[in-house]
């Protein structure tokens, strides 16, 4: 207590691996869409801990669920039946067309499970030695060795050679390239319907449908990574639902338990049969505490119709940001997104604009150097997005005038 940002920074340098480029802010507490730093300065949270706290910070009903479950049962391992897991599984599966779920602890882990399931489905159910996973330029699937190989960006692979075999990356938005790439060794195609880390790039409906169609024709698994876009953020529970798609496998994590670590991999019954007892496991996966919280999260999303809210507010926000674009000619290249997953691509490097927004009390993220990425909690008030728009316009106009 009594720490300042400078003392925390010094301590951290001596204690932690320096794997993160931190923002110059130390957060002390959060409530709803507000964060407060050590000095008591208040911020409007437009990032939700990177698409995690979709229901806002420290929501009382969630805090009560955590406390009640913490007094009842937290962890016993997957050697036992646990009711909490099944309550969650029923609720989660009901939001999809899929039949079975495997619980783990993060997005990367969910994607690892998906990759393993796709390989095993080909090798054990189809008697085909297929293992290759095809991904798309600009994608992000996690930081384990396999998911870094799937991600394909050299900056995430630097110094970690050799990469695991069996990953092939092709251009984004080019179905012909996919047709050419799928072969005897292909196990599945892994797609983000809207790339997050890659700069908030939505797939066109036509492209997403072509990918699904090619997978079906060639009998390879269509796998959708919903880790960031899922859980109502884009205006439907899952982004693929905008295009009427039915992936064989999907992965989720980030917002699943509103801040507690949890991941999930879902698939059709047919594909799920590739895993048998012993095929895969996670010690913490689907523990009673996180499961109870995730079940509560889904209950609230359903009750409060949050995907719908994200959809409507997202349409309004993107229109509003396009008005800022019009008011500041030459400053913004494009406003794009789905629901409350919004990218504002600036005409040039965005670090300066991002810093000023932060100084003015707006927390958001900058990806690909020039894309302001907004992932606000789905409960954000319109007025907060309006304040952001006004602030952004002021900053861009001042920058242009310089
Ligand atoms: C964040 C993210 C991941 C990785 O999730 P972790 O929980 O950090 O392992 C995977 N895929 C997508 C699309 C993501 O945004």
Ligand 1 centroid distance, CA of 168 (Å): 19
Asked whether 253 lines ligand 1 (CB < 6 A), one says yes
Claim to verify: residue 342 and residue 363 sit in the same structural domain? yes
Claim to verify: residue 81 and residue 171 sit in the same structural domain? yes
> Model confidence over 127-160: pLDDT tens digits?
999 999 999 999 999 999 999 999 988 999 999 9
Asked whether 318 lines ligand 1 (CB < 6 A), one says no
Mutation choice for ligand 1 from 103, 114, 142, CB with most ligand atoms inside 8 A: 142
Q: Find the CATH number of the domain harbouring 271.
A: 3.40.640.10
In a domain, 63, yes or no: no
Q: How far is 245 from 226, CA to CA, in rounded Å?
A: 13
Ligand 1 centroid distance, CA of 140 (Å): 7
DSSP string, 200-250: SEEPPHHHHHHHHHHHHHTT-EEEEE-TTTTTTTTSSSSGGGGGT---SEE
Ligand 1 centroid distance, CA of 228 (Å): 7
- What six digits make up the tokens of 378? 């789905």
Secondary structure of residue 389 in the 3-state scheme: helix
Claim to verify: residue 163 and residue 23 sit in the same structural domain? no
For residue 236, CA distances in Å to 37, 243, 244 come to 33, 11, 11
- How much is the pLDDT for 402? 67
Cβ-based burial of 4 (10 A; exposed 0-12, middle 13-18, buried ≥19): exposed
Asked whether 225 lines ligand 1 (CB < 6 A), one says yes
> Model confidence over 319-368: pLDDT tens digits?
999 999 999 999 999 999 999 999 999 999 999 999 999 999 999 999 99
In a domain, 66, yes or no: no
Claim to verify: residue 106 and residue 239 sit in the same structural domain? yes
Ligand 1 centroid distance, CA of 164 (Å): 19
pLDDT per residue rounded down to tens, the chain (402 residues) = 578 999 999 999 999 999 999 999 999 999 999 999 999 999 999 999 999 999 999 999 999 999 999 999 999 999 999 999 999 999 999 999 999 999 999 999 999 999 999 999 999 999 999 999 999 999 999 999 999 999 988 999 999 999 999 999 999 999 999 999 999 999 999 999 999 999 999 999 999 999 999 999 999 999 999 999 999 999 999 999 999 999 999 999 999 999 999 999 999 999 999 999 999 999 999 999 999 999 999 999 999 999 999 999 999 999 999 999 999 999 999 999 999 999 999 999 999 999 999 999 999 999 999 999 999 999 999 999 999 999 999 999 998 776
Q: Which atom of ligand 1 is nearest to the CA of 226?
A: 13
Claim to verify: residue 139 and residue 161 sit in the same structural domain? yes
Question: At what angle are helices 382-401 and 306-327 packed, to 10 degrees?
Answer: 20
Q: Which atom of ligand 1 is nearest to the CA of 106?
A: 7
Claim to verify: residue 53 and residue 100 sit in the same structural domain? no
Asked whether 107 lines ligand 1 (CB < 6 A), one says yes
Strand partners, 341: 338
Range of the domain at 257: 73-303
Q: How far is 137 from 223, CA to CA, in rounded Å?
A: 16
The helix or strand, by DSSP H or E, that contains position 88, with its residue range, turns out to be helix 83-94
Claim to verify: residue 19 and residue 82 sit in the same structural domain? no
Return the number of other C-beta atoms located less than 10 Å from residue 37's C-beta. 17
Whether the CB-CB separation of 233 and 255 falls below 8 Å is answered with yes
Claim to verify: residue 22 and residue 82 sit in the same structural domain? no
- How much is the pLDDT for 329? 96
> Which of these, 297, 265, 237, lies nearest to 63 by C-alpha position?
297
In a domain, 268, yes or no: yes
Ligand 1 centroid distance, CA of 249 (Å): 16
Ligand 1 centroid distance, CA of 229 (Å): 10
Asked whether 192 lines ligand 1 (CB < 6 A), one says yes
Tokens 């670590």 belong to: 261
Asked whether 339 lines ligand 1 (CB < 6 A), one says no
Print burial letters for 297-319: b (CB count within 10 Å at least 16), e (below 16). Answer: bbebbeeeebbebbbebbeebbe
Ligand 1 centroid distance, CA of 367 (Å): 14
- How much is the pLDDT for 1? 58
Claim to verify: residue 220 and residue 106 sit in the same structural domain? yes
In a domain, 64, yes or no: no
Ligand 1 centroid distance, CA of 276 (Å): 26
pTM above 0.75, yes or no: yes
HSE-CB of 206 using CA atoms within 13 angstroms: 4
In a domain, 48, yes or no: yes
Out of 249, 284, 303, a domain closes at 303
Asked whether 197 lines ligand 1 (CB < 6 A), one says yes
Asked whether 106 lines ligand 1 (CB < 6 A), one says yes
In a domain, 68, yes or no: no
User: For the chain, how many structural domains are there in total?
Assistant: 2
Claim to verify: residue 24 and residue 107 sit in the same structural domain? no
Out of 277, 303, 329, a domain closes at 303
Ligand 1 centroid distance, CA of 225 (Å): 8
CA 190, distance to chain mean position in Å, is 14
What is residue 331's DSSP assignment?
T
Claim to verify: residue 298 and residue 311 sit in the same structural domain? no
- Using CA positions, which residue lies closest to atom 11 of ligand 1? 141
In a domain, 105, yes or no: yes
Asked whether 393 lines ligand 1 (CB < 6 A), one says no
In sequence order, which ranges of 100-218 are alpha helices (DSSP H)? Answer: 107-120, 145-151, 154-157, 175-181, 205-217
Claim to verify: residue 288 and residue 340 sit in the same structural domain? no
Q: Find the CATH number of the domain harbouring 319.
A: 3.90.1150.10
> Which of these, 28, 12, 47, 39, lies nearest to 357 by C-alpha position?
47
Ligand 1 centroid distance, CA of 156 (Å): 13
Tokens 């064989």 belong to: 248
Out of 303, 333, 363, a domain closes at 303
Ligand 1 centroid distance, CA of 299 (Å): 23
Asked whether 228 lines ligand 1 (CB < 6 A), one says yes
In a domain, 188, yes or no: yes
Asked whether 54 lines ligand 1 (CB < 6 A), one says no
């Amino acid at each position: 207590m009594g720490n300042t940002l400078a003392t925390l920074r010094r301590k951290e340098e001596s204690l932690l691996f320096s794997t993160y480029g931190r923002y110059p802010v130390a957060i002390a507490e959060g409530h709803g869409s507000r964060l407060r730093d050590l000095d008591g300065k208040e911020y409007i949270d437009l990032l939700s801990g990177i698409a995690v706290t979709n229901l806002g910070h420290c929501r009382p009903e969630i805090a009560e669920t955590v406390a009640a479950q913490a007094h009842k049962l937290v962890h016993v391992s997957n050697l036992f039946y646990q009711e909490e897991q099944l309550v969650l599984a029923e609720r989660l599966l009901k939001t999809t067309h899929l039949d079975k779920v495997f619980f783990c602890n993060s997005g990367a882990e969910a994607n690892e499970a998906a990759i393993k399931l796709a390989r095993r489905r080909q090798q054990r159910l189809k008697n085909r030695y297929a293992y290759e996973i095809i991904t798309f330029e600009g994608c992000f699937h996690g930081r384990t060795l396999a998911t870094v190989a799937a991600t394909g960006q050299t900056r995430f692979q630097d110094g970690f050679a050799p990469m695991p075999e069996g990953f092939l990356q092709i251009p984004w938005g080019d179905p012909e390239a996919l047709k050419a790439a799928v072969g005897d060794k292909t196990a599945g195609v892994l797609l983000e319907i809207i790339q997050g880390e890659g700069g908030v790039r939505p797939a066109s409906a036509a492209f997403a449908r072509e990918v699904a169609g090619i997978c079906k024709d060639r009998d390879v698994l269509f796998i959708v990574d919903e880790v960031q876009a899922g859980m109502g953020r884009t205006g439907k529970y899952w982004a693929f639902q905008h295009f009427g798609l039915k992936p064989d496998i999907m992965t989720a994590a980030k917002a699943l338990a509103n801040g507690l670590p949890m991941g999930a991999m879902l698939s059709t019954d047919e594909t799920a049969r590739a895993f048998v007892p012993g095929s895969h496991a996670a010690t913490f996966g689907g523990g009673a505490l996180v499961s109870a919280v995730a079940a509560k999260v889904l209950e609230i999303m359903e009750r409060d119709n949050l995907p719908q809210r994200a959809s409507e507010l997202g349409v309004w926000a993107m229109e509003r940001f396009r008005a800022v674009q019009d008011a500041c000619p030459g400053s913004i290249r494009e406003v794009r997104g789905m629901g409350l997953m919004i990218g504002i691509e600036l005409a040039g490097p965005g670090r300066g604009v991002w810093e000023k927004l932060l100084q003015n009390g707006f927390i958001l993220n900058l990806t690909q150097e020039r894309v302001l990425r907004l992932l606000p909690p789905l409960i954000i008030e319109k007025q907060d997005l309006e304040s952001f728009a006004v602030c952004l316009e002021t900053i861009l106009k001042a920058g242009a005038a310089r």
